[in-house]
Amino acid sequence: MTAEKLARTATLGAALPALLLALWWVATADSTDPYVPPLSLIFSTFPETWTAERLQHDVIPSLARLLSGFVLAVVIGVAAGVAVGSFHGLRHTLEPVLEFLRAIPSPVLIPVVILFAGIDDTMKILVIVYGCVWPVLLNTVEGVRAIDSVLTDTSRCYGINRSARLRHLILPGASPHIFAGMRQALSLSIILMVIGEMFAASNGLGFSIVQFQRSFAIPEMWTGIIVLGLVGIALSLLLGLIERRALAWYFGLRRSQRRE
């Protein structure tokens, strides 16, 4: 029964993508438009473009920048968010400043960061950190504020000290919000990585796609777009997996509350 249901979901899930791909294939089959090459050509260009060497030279550095920026942003965002969320005075003082800093579209910071850090990896990572800190920080603040005050009071009554409270109450309590922030930050980090590399770089995914475009290597450019899409999908699946593991208690709790 469940196997049947699973098969149904799988068929339905695969049907539309298959249909769209088929449409794309047929629609571009004898396309002479240089910008929209036939899908078959894009597919046949794929393996020769994305060789092991290119993966090592372009994809790995990109991913390394992205992940280091993302992890740094999460650490800074959670630390600052817990601090801002825990102290009313601090929150009220910083609120307008944070609103303003967050409202600056982060790609705009690329020229600014270039001034300070040049155009090497530090620049790209700094831009990612700057852009990704805000969703994590603001969501952490919300999460810390949303913790049940009965729990806070109880832990205080039992004389649980600050660091234990942080580890066993505040961080777990805020974690659903933190993950929501991380999800927003992840898609931002990919965007910022690509733009950083498009702006100034000597390797990386964004750099090679722009290179393809400038040299009118159109099928190669399309494969680059596809690779970027795949990276985006893979990373969001990965985060989803981590989220489901880390927040298993939360999803279970919600399910049982819903059933009541």
Partner 1 sequence: MRNTFVLRWGQGLIGLAALIAVLELLPRTSLVSARYLPPFSTMMTALRRQLGEASFWSALLNTAQAWAIGLTIAMILGIVLGLVIGSFPLLRELTFSTIEFLRPIPSVALIPLVVLMFGTRMQGTLVLVVYASLWQVLIQVLYGVQDVDPVVRETARSYRFGRMAQVRHVVWPTALPFVMTGFRLAATVALVLTITAELVIGSPGIGKQIAVAQSSGAVATMYSLVIVTGALGVLVNLLARALERRVLAWHPSHRSEVIA
**DSSP secondary structure letters along 178-225:** HHHHHHHHHHHHHHHHHHHHHHS-SSSHHHHHHHHHHTT-HHHHHHHH
* 28 makes contact with partner 1 (CB under 8 A): no
Q: Which of residues 181-240 bind partner 1 (CB under 8 A)?
A: 187, 190-191, 194-195, 198-199, 206, 209-210, 212-213, 218, 221-222, 224-225, 228-229, 232-233, 235-236
Is residue 3 part of the contact set for partner 1 (CB under 8 A)? no
Q: Which of 49, 62, 86, 106 binds partner 1 (CB under 8 A)?
A: 106
The long-range contacts involving 207-210, CB below 8 angstroms and separated by at least 24 positions, are 207/58, 208/54, 208/58
At closest approach, how far in Å is the CB of 115 from partner 1? 5
Report which of 212, 235, 236, 215 is spatially closest to residue 224, judged by C-alpha positions. 212
Question: What amino acid is encoded at 60 in this protein?
Answer: I
**Nearer to partner 1 by C-beta: 61 or 196?**
196
157: exposed, middle or buried (C-beta count within 10 Å: 0-12, 13-18, 19+)? Answer: exposed
Which residues lie near partner 1 (CB under 8 A)?
Answer: 9, 12-17, 20, 35, 89, 92-97, 99-112, 114-116, 187, 190-191, 194-195, 198-199, 206, 209-210, 212-213, 218, 221-222, 224-225, 228-229, 232-233, 235-236
